[in-house]
Amino acid sequence: MYSVNPRLWENLWIALSLSAVASLRVVEIAPIVHTELPVWLEAAIYVSANSLMPLFLIQFVFSFLNRPVPVLLRVVQVLGLADAYFALGLPMPPSINWWGVHGTAVAILLATLTQLLMLPTCFRSKLPEMRWIGASVLFITVENSARMAKQLGLPSPNQDVLWHGYDIDIRGLSYLLFAIVMLIAMTFRLRRIQTRNRQIEQEMAAARSIHQILIPNHGDPDQPSAFIVLGDVSGKGLKAAMTVSLLVGTMRAFAETYRSPAELLTGLNRLLHGRADGFATCLALMVTPSGQLTLANAGHPNPYLNGAEIPTEANLPLGLTPDVQYSEITLQLSPHQRFTLVTDGVVEATSAATRELFGFDHTQAISSQAASFIAETARAFGQGSPQADDITVLTIARALLPA
């Protein structure tokens, strides 16, 4: 599961936890099935698995909750690593002295008991599966602690129960229940991720519908010019979608009245102020058949003409204050040149490996390419990292018509 989606670190930590459980069971049944493993290897596996188990479980719980591990539990993890290093770094002959055996048992007992520090986090979580996880951690902690206490000669419950002539190993049963509960919890997690992915797909379908409204398939040949508006609404979900619907409907109405991009943005700004949560960046562009471009910018990333960034006045986004007068600039688009508009999702695409932004320089370097190439390059750059914003690229090219 981790190899399919490396962003879900909890899959890695639960895999390591269950692997530690499996290795402990192998060591415990080794004398019964006569595997004849060296004693030092059995001891190293036993101590390492017991010492690292708290580390794996702590990491799993907080990765599952998408929260940082508290400092106290970080200390516990470091102590567990130190104990495992001691076990792996020193070969253990069969004749281990009293302090080696009992000192290791004390270290494992303390490391195991610290798992109880996670229980308040588990039981206070709003996720129902976290209560299952907390119960399984409590059960396996009590069982492992009882076994370590027995090795130290302390009072502890029996590790084996006779039932109708059968000798039931409580520790084996606790491991089995632990694995089952963890798999149930991961199933709940998977279902929640699938539900969230379906919601995202529905939002993307709605976004595609909005894009079809914004960008018609064919222009009107009877119109002397065309308005092109590219924007980005703050926020996510239904409120943002409603803001987009308000802007699209208003643009349809205003396009018949206002004859310049600055007037259009001024009207949109007055309408949006006080009527929607958040704001919107927007770049309005009017294109004439002769290739003249007139544009006004409301806090949106600057456009590019044939690979060069076009500076615009740093006006406020729409909806922040009603009294904004937007300025215009005019450019000439020559035949076979390309004019490119992007949203900030391109610039802010983030590398999962280095946490580096795609950036303005990189965007400018490829701005003369086709829109699909720019969008795919930015998406590939941020692959493996959660995309914070939508990626939209629009290019305009002027072609020479046949005589």
What tens digit of pLDDT does each residue of 112-168 get?
676 777 778 778 877 777 887 888 778 777 777 777 777 667 777 776 777 777 777
pLDDT at 374: 93
Do the Cβ atoms of 260 and 329 come closer than 8 Å? no
pLDDT at 195: 83
Q: How confident is the model at residue 389 (pLDDT cuts 50, 70, 90)?
A: low
Residues 6+ apart with CB under 8 A from 185: 64, 129, 130, 132, 133
Q: Which range among 47-51, 264-268, 293-297, 364-368 shows the weakest confidence by mean pLDDT?
A: 47-51
Please state the domain extents for the chain: 9-194, 215-397
Q: How confident is the model at residue 94 (pLDDT cuts 50, 70, 90)?
A: very low
Question: Which CATH number, 3.60.40.10, 1.10.287.620, 3.40.720.10, 3.40.1280.10, labels domain 215-397?
Answer: 3.60.40.10
Q: Which range among 104-113, 166-175, 369-378 shows the weakest confidence by mean pLDDT?
A: 104-113
Cα distances (angstroms) measured from residue 247 to each of 230, 280, 282, 295, 342: 11, 9, 10, 18, 18
Query: What is the percent of the chain where pLDDT is above 90?
Result: 12
- The one-letter amino acid at 189: R
Q: Which residue has the higher pLDDT, 361 or 176?
A: 361
- The one-letter amino acid at 326: Y
Query: What is the percent of the chain where pLDDT is above 70?
Result: 80
* Distance (Å, whole) CA 183 – CA 60: 13
* Distance (Å, whole) CA 69 – CA 160: 35
* Distance (Å, whole) CA 341 – CA 338: 10
pLDDT at 382: 80
The residue whose two tokens read 């309408």 is 271
Q: How confident is the model at residue 99 (pLDDT cuts 50, 70, 90)?
A: very low
pLDDT exceeds cutoff 70 at 238: no
Mean pLDDT, residues 43-71 = 78
CB-based burial label for 208 (10 Å; 0-12, 13-18, 19+): exposed
Q: How confident is the model at residue 388 (pLDDT cuts 50, 70, 90)?
A: low
pLDDT exceeds cutoff 90 at 364: yes
Q: How confident is the model at residue 97 (pLDDT cuts 50, 70, 90)?
A: very low
pLDDT exceeds cutoff 60 at 100: no
pLDDT exceeds cutoff 50 at 93: no
* Most confident of the following: 164-168, 197-201, 284-288: 284-288
pLDDT at 293: 93
The residue whose two tokens read 């562009």 is 285
* Most confident of the following: 124-128, 201-205, 331-335: 331-335
Q: Which range among 71-75, 147-151, 178-182, 379-383 shows the weakest confidence by mean pLDDT?
A: 147-151
Q: What is the chain's length?
A: 403
pLDDT at 294: 93
Q: How confident is the model at residue 219 (pLDDT cuts 50, 70, 90)?
A: low
Q: Which residue has the higher pLDDT, 13 or 242?
A: 13
pLDDT at 212: 63
pLDDT exceeds cutoff 50 at 95: no
